[in-house]
Structure 1
Amino acid sequence: MTTHLGAEGKAIALHVSGACSGVFEIPCLCKVPELSTGLLPAIVFQNDVILVSRFVVSLFLCINFLLITTFFMKEFFYTTMRYILFANTLLSDCLILIVTNFLLIFDYFHLTMQIWLCLIFYILSSVYTFVTPVTLTAMTLERYVAICMPLQHSELCSTHRSLHCILIIHSLSYVPCIVILSVFFASASLSFYKQYKVCSVEMFIFHSWQRHLRSAISLFYFLIMFIAIVFSYVKIMKVAKAASGENKKSTVLKCLSQYLQNLMLLHYYFTISEDSFLQSGALQTTNTIFGLRDEKFFNALKNFALCGLHKNLKP
């Protein structure tokens, strides 16, 4: 959200003296010439976008708070792999929203920071950008085991194995970040880490081929997750055709619709949108839909949101 002004209305920003000893540099706005009327609509539009994005972030965080609180309300949720992985996506999405929000504000007000601090923001955003789609793939595989391998489900998807699964998810999500930062550490000088700049992902790209490498890694992850979801989808389709009984067919059809939703999300996440805020919005929508479609979770959520009143209203 960088404001570009013309020659007549360019703001003069001076760094506070002695700021080199700190982490941030705060721009000091001096006397600004009057802006031409043609620039005012663009500035007002950018201010409106900032306000709307702040409102959307606050709304998403409130929804996630409700979902996370509901998760911890019942022992069944935090002892079942499916819901544990769901909570992992919620926490990941919250972190992405907070980091993205901070970076957007810093960029809008031209707040600079030392490179080493920006590096921390980059690691968090890079890792947890992959955590959620990888977790969604793990949730898909869990449903595959539950339907196609019901006898092994309790053993393969226990609470203890859920923690191992989350550790594996985070390990896989660190790989792209480690690859990109390895090139960065080999190319950057020590003095570069002490410089003050507006934090952005592009400052860690020194060579054009690094962008191609980053895109290739994202595409590789997308293909692996796509193959895993399609494989599970095909296997469950076979179970659906052979299923007998309305309850079993209904369960299978819900899983199939969830798979299609995950496929569309992965396609949007990796191939259409490169904006982290839009990606967070897509993930938030998926999390909300999951919480509302799951009958047990929805009932617990409704009970929490209405402070237990809906139980008393039932005949």
Structure 2
Amino acid sequence: MVLVCEVIICVRMASQSSAGDTEMNSNNTVFGPTLAQRHSKFIIVQVLVVIFLCINLLLIVTFFKNQSFYTTARYILFAVTLLSDSFLFLVSDLLFIFAVFQVTMWVSLCSVICIIMGLYLIVTPVTLTAMTLERYVAICMPLRHTELCSTRNTLHVILVIHGLSSVPYAVIFINFFASASLDFYYQYRMCYVEILIVYKWQDHVRSAVFQFYFLIMCLIIMLCYVKIMKVARTASEDDKISSKGLKTVTLHAFQLLLCLIQFWYPLIASSLIHIDFTDLQHVRFFSYIVFNLSPRCLSPLIYGLRDEMFFTAMKKCLSCGLCDRQ
């Protein structure tokens, strides 16, 4: 949600900056290009969101139409990422549209939306970390995989994932609730995550929590992938299978890296405040596209299209849909 709401902040700041400088507006030297940029960015976001939602919807339908996927931990966790990402796309895009058209809402309602979006923003990297552990068990501990990665244990893992994902924004919300006055909750504001930051020390707490999560996930991923790649190279006798497995591992690691970089944002944002406004706007939009949308585009590529069983089921589901239309 940090990066999602930064696009909203860019739109809000652009409208405030252009409205507050009448001389620039009359000369059309700043407002014109800014308005054009807002329109182009709006179109880019809408196109990307629609494409990603269509892909995710196809994969979600494929998952629910095949009962064999219900008992496999990898596919269950994959479905969790698809559902959380789809929800995040819808809500963040709705807030983005509100920001473009400058629609305000109660601060209390905005804070609830920010907390929920923050939860599902973190669910994806935490779930991918759990999928990394599942692959570690499957490759390095194959005899215990059925026991440790049973359907019941996977459901328990999903609860743990949501519990861990709720901690960062629970800390932010508790600090906000303890600092903000009651009147502030009933004010009408543009909805963005920084509305929950009343004092600067709260921003430092947020940064510390995100950095802690970043370090823990990076440590888990590095340890697991070092062992997985060693076992994959020594156990596989087929060079093609080994090469494909290592490519999947590399793509997975790259996706996790993009997801985890978002935890650096609180530190980056504090340093970006002092740079030129136009540059700040471009940096925030670039961060939103690269570190928020891109990782959620790679999920279907890695776990959907590259998985033979899931890809076969997806083609069957798609062909059935086309036949039904005919």
Same fold by TM-score greater than 0.5: yes
Provide the C-alpha distance between the structure 2 equivalents of 1:67 and 1:259, rounded to a whole number of angstroms. Answer: 18
Given the two structures, how large is their TM-score scaled by the length of structure 2?
0.80
Deviations 1:175-211 (CA, angstroms, capped at 9, x unpaired): 1011111111111111111111111111110111211
Bigger proportion of residues as helix: 2
SS in 2 for 1:62: helix
Name whichever of 51-60 and 132-141 sits farther off.
Answer: 51-60
Q: Give me the whole-angstrom Cα distance separating, in 2, the residues matched to 1:81 and 1:284.
A: 20
Q: 1:281 aligns with which of 293, 296, 319?
A: 293
Deviations 1:270-314 (A, max 9, x none): 33787555433122222121211111111111222233889xxxx
Task: Mark the runs of 5 or more structure 2 residues left unpaired by the alignment.
Answer: 1-10, 266-282
**Is the counterpart of residue 72 in structure 1 residue 64 in structure 2?**
yes
Higher Rg = 1
Q: 1:102 to 1:277 in 2, by over 3 A?
A: farther
CA–CA distance in structure 2, aligned partners of residues 211 and 96 of structure 1: 23
Partner of 1:167: 159
TM-aligned CA distance change 1:109 to 1:309, over 3 Å: closer
Partner in structure 1 of residue 276 of structure 2: none
Matched AA of 1:253: L
- Report the equivalent of 1:53: 45
Deviation at 1:42, TM superposition (A): 2.8
1:256 positional shift = 3.2
Give per-residue Cα distances to partners, 1:225-281, cap 9 Å, x unaligned: 111111111212332343153287467535533543344324543337875554331
> Structure 1: how far apart are the matches of 2:70 and 2:243?
25
Bigger RCO of structures 1 and 2 (CA < 8 A, at least 6 apart): 2
Alignment of 1:281-300 (within 5 A): 281-290=293-302, 291-300=304-313
Q: Does 1:239 align with 2:231?
A: yes
Distance (Å, rounded) in 1 between the aligned partners of 2:156 and 2:126: 14
2:211–2:263: 8 Å Cα contact kept in structure 1?
yes
Cα distance in structure 1, aligned partners of 2:294 and 2:261: 8
Alignment match, 2:4:
none
Which of 118, 135, 147 matches 1:155? 147
Q: Which is further off, 255-264 or 59-68?
A: 255-264
Q: Relative to structure 1, is the Cα distance of residues 94 and 150 closer, same or farther in structure 2, using a 3 angstrom cutoff?
A: same
2:246 alignment counterpart: 253
Of all paired residues, the percent bearing the same amino acid is 47
**Distance (whole Å) between structure 2 residues aligned to residue 268 and residue 257 of structure 1:** 16
Which deviates more from structure 2 when the two are superposed, residues 283-292 or residues 61-70? 283-292
SS state at 1:87 partner: helix
For 1:301, which of 305, 310, 314 is the aligned residue?
A: 314
Letter of the aligned partner of 1:171 in structure 2?
G
Task: Return 238-247 or 118-127, whichever deviates more.
Answer: 238-247
Alpha-carbon distance change, 276 to 128 in structure 1, aligned in 2, over 3 angstroms: farther
Give the conservation status (yes or no) of the 8 Å contact 2:259–2:291: no
Q: Is the 8 A contact 2:256 2:295 kept in 1?
A: no
Q: How does 1:201-216 map to 2 (within 5 A)?
A: 201-216=193-208
State the AA in 2 paired with 1:289: L
Contact 1:147 1:252 in 2 (8 A): no
2-side partners of 1:251 and 1:93: how far apart?
26
**Contact 1:96–1:129 (8 Å) recurs in 2:** yes
Of 85, 99, 112, which residue of structure 1 is paired with 2:77? Answer: 85
Report deviation, 1:117.
0.7
Structure 1 equivalent of residue 210 of structure 2:
218
1:182 aligns with 2:174: yes
Which whole-Å deviations, capped at 9, do the CAs of 1:83-123 have from their partners, x for residues lacking one?
11001001111111112111111112111111111012111
